[in-house]
Amino acid sequence: MLSGNYACSETFRQTPAPNLVIDGIGPISLPLSTRDARLIISNASRAPYGHNQETIVNTNVRDTWEVNASRITLRPGWQAFVEGTILPSVLQKLGMQVTTPRCELYKLLLYQEGSHFARHQDTARTPGMFATIVIILPSRYEGGEVEVSHAGSSRPLTFDFASQSQSSTTVLAWYSDVHHEIKRVTSGYRLVLTYNVIRPPSRGAEPLPSPPDVLTIAVNNLRTILHRWAELPINRRRTFFAYMLSHQYSIDDLEDSGIEALKGSDKHKVGYARDIAEQLGYVLRLASIKYHELGAPGIGALADEVHRYKRRRGEDFEYASRRDDRLDDEVPEMDEIILTSMEIDNVVDLEGESVSEHFDMRAGDLVPSRPSQGANPVQGMKPDETEYEGYMGNVCDLLSFDEITVT
């Protein structure tokens, strides 16, 4: 499979019994009973989530109970089913070719009435992790739909298995950089096992299959374009160009595994480009693109600054006290862009070896992966980091956005 999905699902009417046992509770019967659900809650912890550099508990964002894997025992036959049946199916549907991946139990999660998890991305919890598998064990509930979305997709996918949850086992899986949201459970209990899918240490690039007919034309066109560029006079040749991949990758993953860290269609695209580059004398690298915007927020930010100033001086206290305290931490949206810059950093070769290259680039050096992205595919994306300096006397306030992608 060349272009795998970024998320997939499968429902099993019959599976081996997991024989779930939780330390401190004992055996848990399935389908999950109300009695056992309450026992789990009384012996579980509120599930936290990551925000910037902190791990916090906030039930407005995530209202879920969790039990660590160290307290969970499952029969050996269950793990064999996960690794022998579920994992190969997931890898095929996601379009991944990974030799001897591991599927590591991470948590048991319990959602009760009102439980939910706002839109988020999974944290890379262990080196080599590239996907998450969620197994919904037989349990009766309503609501709890899972909505997943990805930057390379035009619309989100919604998975709803509540109607068959009591009599079946459902598997969901997605790449670790996919955004997903668990909607509010409206009744009952939703019991879930979550697994980290981990690639082994890199042992060199694996051979790629021949491109299917749908890509043969694109591959040949790329070869023709690069060949023509190579024949141009030196003063007219492009120094480089960059192509933004569909998925996100940490520099640790790229340095550890190189091309083997790439997911789904990204790996195939880079693999075919590698072959062409080697034939024509080009050098192919993987890197982070850092895009910075410097600008000013709208007039609403000025009003907020005035209220902050009055609160500090004790003026207009009655009105100021009604304003949400979140103003102190809130960063306004940028209204006017003053300056932009783009640079290439964290460059590695296809084996993951660091290359001492760091240089600026222009928007024209970045090739859009889709026609709808326009001349600058990075502009308009949600920033990874935002800094707000506020008003400084006679100097306008400045707002800095940092965005990081990988090519």
DSSP string, 368-390: -SSGGG-S-SSTTSPPSEEEEEE
Specify whether 104 is located in the same domain as 190.
yes
Specify whether 103 is located in the same domain as 157.
yes
Residue 2 domain flag: no
| pLDDT, position 199 | 84
Look at residues 171, 198, 225 and tell me which one is the last residue of a structural domain: 198
Over range 74-79, report the average pLDDT: 95
Specify whether 230 is located in the same domain as 181.
no
pLDDT band at 327 (very low <50, low <70, confident <90, very high): very low
pLDDT at 399 > cutoff 70: no
pLDDT band at 395 (very low <50, low <70, confident <90, very high): very low
Name, of 178-182, 191-195, 239-243, 286-290, the range with top average pLDDT: 191-195
User: Higher model confidence: residue 364 or residue 343?
Assistant: 343
Sequence-separated (6 or more) residues with CB below 8 Å from residue 42: none
| Beta-sheet strands, E only, within 101-189 | 102-111, 116-121, 129-137, 141-143, 146-149, 157-159, 169-175, 179-182, 185-188
Query: CATH code at 77?
Result: 2.60.120
Q: How far apart are CA 98 and CA 124, in angstroms?
A: 18
Residue 327 near residue 304, CB atoms below 8 Å: yes
| pLDDT, position 16 | 94
Give the Cβ contact number of residue 175 at 10 Å.
Answer: 26
User: Higher model confidence: residue 1 or residue 26?
Assistant: 26
Specify whether 164 is located in the same domain as 247.
no
Residue 206 domain flag: no
Specify whether 225 is located in the same domain as 177.
no
Over range 299-312, report the average pLDDT: 52
Residue 204 domain flag: no
The tens digit of pLDDT for each residue in 263-283 reads: 877 887 888 888 888 888 888
- Report the range of poorest mean pLDDT among 2-6, 71-75, 320-324: 320-324
Give the range of the structural domain holding residue 314, as residue numbers without chain letter: 299-328
Residue 205 domain flag: no
How would you class 51 by CB atoms within 10 Å of its CB: exposed for 0-12, middle for 13-18, buried for 19 or more? exposed
Specify whether 251 is located in the same domain as 154.
no
Percentage of the chain lying above the pLDDT 90 cut: 36
Cis peptide before 31 (omega within 30 of 0): yes
Q: How far apart are CA 390 and CA 388, in angstroms?
A: 6
**Residue 188 forms beta bridges with which residues?**
141
Residue 242 one-letter amino acid: A
| pLDDT, position 211 | 54
Specify whether 269 is located in the same domain as 144.
no
Give the Cβ contact number of residue 212 at 10 Å.
Answer: 11
Residue 183 domain flag: yes
| pLDDT, position 45 | 96
Look at residues 198, 232, 264 and tell me which one is the last residue of a structural domain: 198
Specify whether 97 is located in the same domain as 127.
yes
Number of residues written out for the chain: 407
Count how many domains the chain has. Answer: 3
- Report the range of poorest mean pLDDT among 215-229, 371-385, 391-405: 391-405
pLDDT band at 331 (very low <50, low <70, confident <90, very high): low
Residue 276 domain flag: yes
Specify whether 256 is located in the same domain as 166.
no
**Residue 290 forms beta bridges with which residues?**
343, 404
User: For all residues of the chain together, what is the average pLDDT?
Assistant: 79
pLDDT at 73 > cutoff 70: yes
Residue 121 domain flag: yes
pLDDT at 407 > cutoff 50: no
| pLDDT, position 323 | 45
pLDDT at 262 > cutoff 60: yes
User: Higher model confidence: residue 227 or residue 45?
Assistant: 45
| pLDDT, position 120 | 86
Q: How far apart are CA 134 and CA 174, in angstroms?
A: 9
Residue 159 domain flag: yes
pLDDT at 123 > cutoff 60: yes
| pLDDT, position 140 | 96
The tens digit of pLDDT for each residue in 194-208 reads: 999 998 876 555 555
pLDDT at 144 > cutoff 80: yes
Specify whether 58 is located in the same domain as 151.
yes
Specify whether 224 is located in the same domain as 191.
no
Name, of 12-21, 117-126, 143-152, 330-339, the range with top average pLDDT: 12-21
pLDDT band at 405 (very low <50, low <70, confident <90, very high): very low
User: Higher model confidence: residue 372 or residue 106?
Assistant: 106
Look at residues 311, 328, 345 and tell me which one is the last residue of a structural domain: 328
| pLDDT, position 332 | 62
Rg (CA), the chain: 25
**Residue 403 forms beta bridges with which residues?**
291
Specify whether 249 is located in the same domain as 283.
yes
pLDDT band at 261 (very low <50, low <70, confident <90, very high): confident
